[in-house]
A and B are shown apart, each in its own frame.
Chain A
Amino acid sequence: MSVVNYEFRNEVLKHNASLSYCYQCSTCSGGCPVALLTEGKYNPRKIIEEAILGLRDKLVESQDPNPWLCSTCQKCVELCPQKVELTEIFTLIKNLCFEEQKFPEAFYAQGKAVYDSGVAIPYSNSIVARRKKLGLPEIKTASVEEINILMGETNFKKNILRGNK
């Protein structure tokens, strides 16, 4: 049994009011490349429907449909006749999944790299050498300290360090 969570529904609406414009026409699911490949197991319309109904447990706990299967191609956003900002709503849901520590491992790896070094792909010695050989300039990346301060201000630091699985 799904539980209607009004607080959650209002949280989504507050984050993005366009949710309330949805009239469930299924343009998004019909145009979604991942929905096509998964035969509807991933279905953007259903995610929006569950958000409208406030089904937090379905979206965040059981992740049915799995919001991480969105390829962020933004086709649904362009096609939606009601201009519902689907990917923004999906982003909020995935952010909540991150807080609940329910997210794919690869996101942890990337997040941790940015936390530790300021960049998603740290410069290895061999790449530094290769850059030099190719005649490319040396790159001075961000101060990690600054990045860590910013991530401490948001929930990122807390959640990424908790996610050290």
Chain B
Amino acid sequence: MEKSSKSALVIGGGIAGIQAALDLADMGIHVDMVEKKPSIGGRMAQLDKTFPTNDCSICILAPKLSECYRHPNITLHAYSEVQKVEGTAGNFTVEILKRARYVKESECINCGLCAEKCPMRVEDEFDRELRKRRAIYMYYLQGVPAIMTIDKEKCLWFTKNACRICEKACEKEAIDFDQQDQTITLNNVGSIVVATGYNLIEDFEKEALNIYGYGKFRNVVTALEFERMECASGPQGGHIKRFSDGVTPKKIAFLQCIGSRSDRYKKYCSSICCMYTTKEAMIAYEHDNSLESYVFYIDMRAGGKGFQSFLRRGASDYNIDYIKSKIAQIDIDKDENPIIVYEDYDDGKIKQLKVDLVVLATCIIPPEGIEDMAKLLGIELNDYNFIKTTPFIPVETSKNGIFTCGCVHEPMDIPRSVTEASGAAARAAEVIRGG
């Protein structure tokens, strides 16, 4: 295939960005992929399973991560950020800040000896702060590129001028405390795909979770935390235990629409929660067949192919009780068991249900720093601060030559993110090929 002189830039290394990059690269277009985190993979890497097939998330993601890393047409800039974009469609100039890892990428073999010796315990962001990592760390076990990174904010050498134990531990002499941040300039960038994903409402508006006692009651967790609790490589090694007493929950309540569809917080539907909640309840049931799950919802929004039968299967085969009722508040008893008060629509009675664990289906929100990024790229945001697109061309931003896919422009599931990614890649290729 003819190789193009112009390249494409993909911002964001989650499943959407990865798919867009792979499609473009397979068309013979050179792609520079920029990912803020130390490794690509994004949210999908944090998930235990994916609906509606309940496949192991990392198992279907990992081959794509490696492909991205090895593809001759893809240059991966992980732990990097776009800091300047100039020019117009067909000819952008992009400046990337490549942050120093203080580890030589060419030397590190991800053996982990350094992290074993590092004395600093730091909240693990990837595991939603449910466990600690070290100040020198792999972002996650299967992360790509598989290179260690020193957390400058927490490292004793950088904060107190002491330690350097990792340096001694490393047999490859890969630690380099003198490494500097680098600025990389990309010329001749024909088009840009923005796929920077999402955050969750608890990340920036924790007060939306206050009435459910999140942060106050140990047995109230968010859905992404629960995802990590279910995951075999997660903080509990795949054995779901509640945080108050380490006991495996036998009764779990899943509360829908936390922060979403609300005039107080986010007015839009978070769109994926009905499905992922059912998935999480199914997986928890597979861990323990005596589990009872209760899903409290406003109305079930499962509009994808095979989605309704997925819910029906949840009810018939996985002991999930779907109850139409939005929960007002949560209290706990003396043993920290959450107590849920709800109206039963069938008889109009107000009932109480004591459970072992509550899982909050929190709302997708635009990713951190989206305003700055929009300004940098010169693209518009919509009323909810997602990237503005139009219904008939969902992958085009307000600026020529800049495309988008995935949750950065509205909440969506993985299949749709991937579909959009291919769409965005096709449109981005048109600009480069002069289609």
Contact = CB atoms under 8 A, between A and B. Distances in A.
Contacts of A148: none
Interface of A: 21, 23, 25-32, 35-36, 39-40, 43, 45-46, 75, 79, 81-83
B263 A30 contact: no
Given A30-B329, A40-B343, A81-B262, 11 more contacts: A27-B328, A29-B350, A31-B328, A36-B341, A39-B349, A75-B328, A79-B211, A81-B257, A81-B264, A81-B326, A83-B264
Contact of B326 (A27, A32, A40, A43): A27
**Binding site of A, secondary structure by majority: helix, strand, loop or mixed?**
helix
**Binding site of B, secondary structure by majority: helix, strand, loop or mixed?**
loop
Chain B, interface size category, equals 20 to 34
B298 interface: yes
Contacts of B211: 79
B264 A35 contact: no
A79 B328 contact: yes
Contacts, number: 63
CB-based closest 6 A-B pairs: A31-B328, A25-B326, A81-B262, A29-B343, A30-B328, A40-B349
Nearest to B263: A83
B119 to A, nearest CB: 46
Nearest to A83: B263
Contacts of A31: 328-329, 341
Interface in B339-353: 341-345, 347-350
24 contacts: A21-B263, A25-B257, A25-B298, A25-B325, A26-B342, A26-B345, A27-B327, A28-B328, A29-B350, A30-B326, A30-B327, A30-B341, A30-B342, A31-B329, A35-B350, A39-B350, A40-B344, A40-B347, A43-B350, A75-B328, A81-B262, A81-B264, A82-B263, A83-B263
Interface string B330-374: 000000000001111101111000000000000000000000000
B154 interface: no
Contacts of B241: none
Contacts of A39: 349-350
B261 interface: yes
Nearest to B265: A81
Contacts of B345: 26
Contact of B261 (A40, A45, A81, A83): A81
